[in-house]
Structure formats: structure tokens, C-alpha cells
């Protein structure tokens, strides 16, 4: 899974997208990673999109579906904003209303400290 790197920090699993423009091709791989994490009971997830310059709508759909799945298991999925804080696709698809967006990976990880989510 060379397009994605998984890092564990204090029980939070960070999925780093090593992609300039994730599309429908990478959405399937992303969903497989999410399903694997859920299957292992690892439901404190951060998706780091900070290396991305653009995200297509199919990949956004995969993020939303993953968010719904993770939260149905009592977890949460948080997003590190794409490079240059390009949240236009998030605004256009109205995902800001359900997703928690963060400027940095550290902020996203730290946001779990005050939550009462079960340990992964």
C-alpha cells in the first residue's frame, strides 16, 4: 500500500495519503485500509491529506463513507487539511458539517485526548 502510510501515535492511527491527487483509483485502497482498521478494533483514525493538492469527489465520498462506518463502531475519523488549506471541495460537497478538519497532524491527534472514545 505504497500510496498510504499508517502511523500509530498514542492509540490513534494516522493514515497518510502520499498522493498529489487521490482519485477513485485510490479510494478502493483507502476503504480497504479503513475496513482493516475497523476489523482490528482500531477506530481512532486520522486521515492526513496534507500532501494532497486536489481531491476528487469519489475520494471525498470514500472519506464520508469511512467516517460513517467508523462512527457506527464508536470511533471517529478526523482529517488533516490538504496543502494550502484547500477546503473548497469540502465546502462544495458540504462535508464540513460532519467532518472534523485540522491544520496539522499533531492537532488532529491531540483532539482525541479529550474524547471518551475507547482505546484502540
Q: Report the pLDDT value the prediction gives residue 116, as an integer from 0 to 100.
A: 56
pTM of the predicted model, to two decimals? Answer: 0.87
Residue pair 31/66 in contact by the 8 Å Cβ criterion: yes
Q: Report the pLDDT value the prediction gives residue 120, as an integer from 0 to 100.
A: 47
Residue pair 9/48 in contact by the 8 Å Cβ criterion: no
Domain boundaries, the chain: 4-110
Q: Report the pLDDT value the prediction gives residue 85, as an integer from 0 to 100.
A: 52
Which CATH fold would you assign to the domain 4-110? Transcription Regulator spoIIAA (3.30.750)
Residue pair 56/82 in contact by the 8 Å Cβ criterion: no
Which are the contacts of 41, defined by CB distance < 8 A and separation ≥ 6?
120
How far is residue 37's CA from residue 53's CA, in Å, rounded to a whole number?
A: 26
Q: Report the pLDDT value the prediction gives residue 101, as an integer from 0 to 100.
A: 86
| pLDDT tens by residue, the chain, 120 residues | 689 999 999 999 999 999 998 999 999 999 999 999 999 999 999 999 999 888 888 898 899 999 999 999 999 999 998 876 555 555 555 665 678 889 899 999 999 997 755 454
Instruction: Please provide the distance, in angstroms rounded to a whole number, between the alpha carbons at the two ends of the chain.
Output: 22
Amino acid at each position: 500500500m505504497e500510496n498510504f502510510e499508517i502511523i500509530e501515535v498514542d492509540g490513534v492511527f494516522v493514515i497518510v495519503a502520499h498522493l498529489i491527487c487521490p482519485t477513485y483509483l485510490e479510494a478502493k485502497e483507502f476503504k480497504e485500509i479503513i475496513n482493516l482498521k475497523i476489523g482490528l478494533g482500531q477506530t481512532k483514525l486520522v486521515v492526513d491529506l496534507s500532501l494532497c493538492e486536489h481531491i476528487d469527489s469519489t475520494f471525498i465520498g470514500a472519506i464520508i463513507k469511512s467516517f460513517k462506518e467508523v462512527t457506527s463502531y464508536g470511533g471517529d475519523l478526523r482529517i488533516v487539511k490538504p496543502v494550502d488549506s484547500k477546503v473548497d471541495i469540502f465546502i462544495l460537497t458540504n462535508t464540513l458539517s460532519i467532518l472534523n478538519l485540522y491544520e496539522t497532524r499533531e492537532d488532529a491527534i491531540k483532539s482525541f485526548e479529550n474524547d471518551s472514545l475507547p482505546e484502540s
